[in-house]
Amino acid sequence: MVKSYLLKAAAAVFIGGLLFSCSGATVEVVDKSFNEEAPERYKLNVESSLYTSADADLNAALTPLNDSLTALMSSYVENFTEGINFMKDSMEVESSFVGELTVKDTVYSATEDLVSVKYTVYEYTGGAHGNTVSIALNYSPKEKKFIEKDQLFKVEKSVVDSLLQSRFVNTDSLYYGVPTVDVASSVNVAGNEVIFVYDRYVLGPYSAGEVEIKLPVAELGL
């Protein structure tokens, strides 16, 4: 087995991480990406970050987030590799397929008020094609807790649903569902926008791809 740990290239790097600031204390985003390959079995590439601060109180407040992210990445890798190894070991006929796991994080916000990150996870374990899903984590350092997607807004959820559907284009009736907060795969806050992502199969067939809808923060009362 060959394993290597890689640092992601970034346009603005400050002592190993990106710096975000809001009204005072600064949050540093530290890269923890790695890849791993087991020839004839699997390959994986995990892009993930942890969060620190020179401010002692803020750094302590980020600990629950970091613990959760570390556990999440470990669970992805362990479940994937165990599954692939089981399949390979139990096959009577040697298979040439190599499994793949790719995890990519996108950090939309990293301040003392909110850390908002999306993970896009692609997994291939055989068959016609792999599967891609997205999840969002929104964390309040001040409150030391994760924020559920329907708790990000001050307006009623029904209002958000109406806004989403007013911006949803279903040309030629390609999709069989309509976007709502409840069925959104991930919801992230990025500056003046809130980004809603709907994975394949949520609103339509695999061939339709994922759907992304952006709503202005001003309309949601964040």
> Among 121, 147, 173, which residue terminates a domain?
147
Could you tell me if 76 and 89 lie in one domain? yes
> Among 147, 178, 195, which residue terminates a domain?
147
Could you tell me if 38 and 100 lie in one domain? yes
The secondary structure of 67-91 as a DSSP string is HHHHHHHHHHHHHHHHHHHHHHHH-
Q: Per the structure block, which two tokens stand in for 49?
A: 């970050």
Could you tell me if 119 and 161 lie in one domain? no
Sheet (strand 49-52) strand order: 17-21, 26-31, 49-52
Q: How far is CA 184 from CA 22, 109, 174, 199, in A?
A: 28, 19, 18, 8
> Among 118, 147, 176, which residue terminates a domain?
147
- Residue count of the chain: 222
For residue 52, how many C-alpha atoms fall within 13 Å in the half-sphere facing its CB? 11
Q: Per the structure block, which two tokens stand in for 56?
A: 């002692």
pLDDT of residue 21: 54
* Residue 35: Cβ within 10 Å count: 16
- Domain count for the chain: 2
CATH of the domain at 202: 3.90.640.20
pLDDT of residue 222: 74
Surface-to-core class of residue 53, CB atoms within 10 Å of its CB (0-12 exposed, 13-18 middle, 19+ buried): buried
Q: Per the structure block, which two tokens stand in for 136?
A: 């969002």
Which residue in the block uniquely carries the two structure tokens 């199969």?
201
Could you tell me if 92 and 183 lie in one domain? no
Confidence band, pLDDT 50/70/90 cuts, at residue 96? confident
What are the DSSP E strand ranges found in the chain? Answer: 2-4, 17-21, 26-31, 34-38, 42-46, 49-52, 99-110, 115-124, 131-140, 145-146, 186-190, 193-198, 211-216
Looking at the chain, the whole-number percentage of residues with pLDDT higher than 70 is: 88
Could you tell me if 41 and 131 lie in one domain? yes
Could you tell me if 112 and 215 lie in one domain? no
Lowest pLDDT segment from 52-61, 86-95, 102-111: 86-95
Could you tell me if 156 and 143 lie in one domain? no
Could you tell me if 193 and 219 lie in one domain? yes
Could you tell me if 36 and 126 lie in one domain? yes
Distance separating alpha carbons of residues 207 and 217, to the nearest angstrom: 31
Could you tell me if 193 and 91 lie in one domain? no
Could you tell me if 162 and 116 lie in one domain? no
CATH of the domain at 141: 3.30.565.40
130-160 pLDDT, tens digit each: 899 999 999 999 999 999 998 999 899 999 9
Residue 183: give the domain boundaries.
Answer: 152-222
Could you tell me if 106 and 4 lie in one domain? yes
**pTM of whole model > 0.75?**
yes
How does DSSP classify residue 176? Answer: S
